Structure 1
Amino acid sequence: MEEKAQTLVYSAIAFLSVLAASFFLNASGIQAVKLAGLEGISSSLKQFLSLEFAGLLVSVAIAFAIANTACLRKSRNFAFKAVLPASAVALIVSLLAFGAGTEKIFLSVFFITALAMLIETASLRKQELKKFITFRASANASQKAVLIIAIGLFASTAFIVFSNQQEFTSKFEKAVIDIALKQASTGDLADSSAGLLIQTQKQSLQSVIQTPQFQKLEEKEDADVQAFVQLMLGLDSRLDSPEVKESLKAQVLENFENNKQLLTFDLVKKQVPMLQTVEDFYWLIAAITITSLFLFLGNVIITPLAVLFSILAALALGKKGTG
């Protein structure tokens, strides 16, 4: 196969794989910004199990594999000439077609950088290794590429979240409140609220009944005064009755949606002081969490697939370069 024809084939595969990765990323709806904002956590988890996400992982692995194969089967210069320009064009096309947000621009730049690092690493390992060249070189090179993309993901997430700290902390607060509300059933909350109201009223009554002034009133023989004293004492006893608690519980249940507003993030922070630290460094925690998730997926799924595709390509093209 002539050099130009080979370059065209490698370029076409690189272009299509990168474009496919961009398409599947857009189709899956997965965005670091959404994950950082804790928007629809359950739906986001479902997206990780979707066919679109699987297509994304496979497409990235193919892009890595074609870069590995171009370097190991041909040369470093050939890989740079055939793979990088085609990948860059595919990324530009995807940005024009699917939108060019800050996160996508960051990832596009770091993806090209990752491919360049992959080619450099594969070239060095090709010269150093004597056995199992394709397996070992492509594995090491793909891991380096995953690391570069992870750095880009960390940088983009940290930058976006830090630049919009108030917006993201508000979403975080809402998510914490939602979780706190979901941990208890409606009945449990109503029961607790009714008990709290009764306890508050009893404390207020006791604070009045135990005063010297009230005790002096008990000694009075005036009918109106005694009626008031008996009313207060009776009310104190009545608050212990199950009927009062059930009545208050029914009122709380009836206005449950309004009672949700009583649970504020400040109240939760008093119970869990660590939440204030989380809120202050939310940009860093979000970036580390999302980057760690990508590193896990990259090393457990993308890299093994890239190695597998590289080996299959080496077997299909012949023994040269396989070690």
Structure 2
Amino acid sequence: MEEKAQTLVYSAIAFLSVLAASFFLNASGIQAVKLASLEGISSSLKQFLSLEFAGLLVSVAIAFAIANTACLRKSRNFAFKAVLPASAVALIVSLLAFGAGTEKIFLSVFFITALAMLIETASLRKQELKKFITFRASANASQKAVLIIAIGLFASTAFIVFSNQQEFTSKFEKAVIDIALKQASTGDLADSSAGLLIQTQKQSLQSVIQTPQFQKLEEKEDADVQAFVQLMLGLDSRLDSPEVKESLKAQVLENFENNKQLLTFDLVKKQVPMLQTVEDFYWLIAAITITSLFLFLGNVIITPLAVLFSILAALALGKKGTG
């Protein structure tokens, strides 16, 4: 195969794989900005299980594999000439087609940088290794590329969240309040509160009934005194009835609904002081969390797939240059 034809084939595969990755990223709806907001976590979890997200992972792995193959099968210069320009064009097309937000621009720049780092690493490892060159070089190079993209993801997330700190902290506060209300509005809590109230009242009554002064009242024959004694004893017995517990439970739920508006984030922070620290450094925590998630996916899924595709390409093209 002539050099120009080979360049065209590698360029076409690189272009299509990067364009496909951009398409699947847009189709999946996954964005670091959404993940940074607690409101977007539930919907994003569903997106991680979608076919579009699977297509994204496979497409990125193919892009890594074609860069690895171009470098290991041909040369460093060939890989730079065939893969990088085609990938850059694909990213520009995707930005024009799917929108050029801050996050996408960050990721596009770091993705190209990651491919360049991948080619450099694969070239160095190719010279150093004597055995299992394709496997070891492509694995190491792909891991380096994942790390570069992770740095870009961290930078973009930190920049976007920090620039809109008030908006994100407001969403965080709302999410915390919603969680607190959901946990506090359960029937189990009302039932426990009613039981605690009954127990407290019984203990108070028993402490009065068991006093010497009350026992002396029981011995008196005065009608009013006896009426009071019977009232106290009857109240003690009545507290054990299911009707009283249900009545108290209904009152607890009613009071809870009436006082919902009194629950503020400041009140929650008094109970959990650590929330203030989380709010102050929310941009950093969000960036670290999202970056860690990507590093996990990159090292557990993308890198192994890239290595697999690189080995399959080496087998398909023959053993020459693969080690």
Aligned residue in 2 for 1:198: 198
Separation in 1 of the partners of 2:168 and 2:203?
Answer: 40
Measured after TM superposition, the shift of residue 285 of structure 1 is: 0.6
| Separation in structure 2 between the aligned mates of residue 25 and residue 212 of structure 1, nearest angstrom | 79
| CA distance in structure 1 between the partners assigned to 2:164 and 2:196 by the alignment | 38
1:128 CA displacement:
1.1
- Is contact 2:122–2:138 with CA below 8 Å preserved after alignment? yes
Greater Cα shift, 206-215 or 280-289: 206-215
* Pair 262,204 (structure 1): closer, same or farther in 2 beyond 3 Å: farther
- The alpha carbon displacement at 1:270 in A equals 1.4
Map Cα deviations across residues 18-74 of structure 1 (whole Å, 9 max, x no partner): 011011111111111111111232221121111111111000000000000011111
> For each residue in 1:121-155, what CA deviation from the matched residue of structure 2 results, as whole angstroms up to 9, or x when unmatched?
11111111111111111011000000000000000
* TM-score, normalising length: structure 1: 0.83
Structure 2 length normalisation: TM-score?
A: 0.83
CA distance in 1, matches of 2:103, 2:213: 70
Contact 2:61 2:306 (C-alpha < 8 Å) held by counterparts: yes
Task: Give ranges in structure 1 of 5+ residues lacking alignment.
Answer: none
| Aligned partners of 1:186 and 1:253 also within 8 Å | no
Aligned-pair distance for 1:198? 10
1:93-127 per-position Cα deviation (integer Å, ceiling 9, x unaligned)? 11111111111110000000000000111111111
Q: Structure 1 residues 29, 199: closer, same or farther in 2, change over 3 A?
A: farther
* Matched residue, 2:151: 151
Distance 2:232 2:167 in 1: 50
Residue 200 of structure 1: how far off its partner (Å): 13
The C-alpha deviation readout for 1:192-241, integer Å capped at 9, x for no partner, is 77789999999999999999999999999999999999999999999999
Give the % identical residues.
100
**Which deviates further from its counterpart, 60-69 or 231-240?**
231-240
Change (3 A) 1:239 1:275: farther
In structure 2, distance between residues paired with 1:146 and 1:65: 13
User: 2:185·2:256 contact (CA, 8 Å) conserved in 1?
Assistant: no
1:128 maps to 2:128: yes
Q: Distance in 1 between matches of 2:268 and 2:207?
A: 29
More off after superposition, 179-188 vs 110-119: 179-188
Please report the RMSD computed on the Cα atoms of aligned residues, expressed in angstroms.
Answer: 4.2
Gap change, CA 1:196 and 1:170, over 3 Å in 2: farther
Q: 1:40 to 1:209 in 2, by over 3 A?
A: farther
In structure 2, stretches of 5+ residues that fail to align are none
Q: Structure 1 pair 265/231, CA: closer, same or farther in 2 (3 Å)?
A: farther
Checking the alignment, whether the CA contact within 8 Å between 1:114 and 1:146 is kept in structure 2 is yes
The aligned counterpart of 1:91 is: 91
Q: Which runs of 4+ in 1 moved over 6 A?
A: 192-245
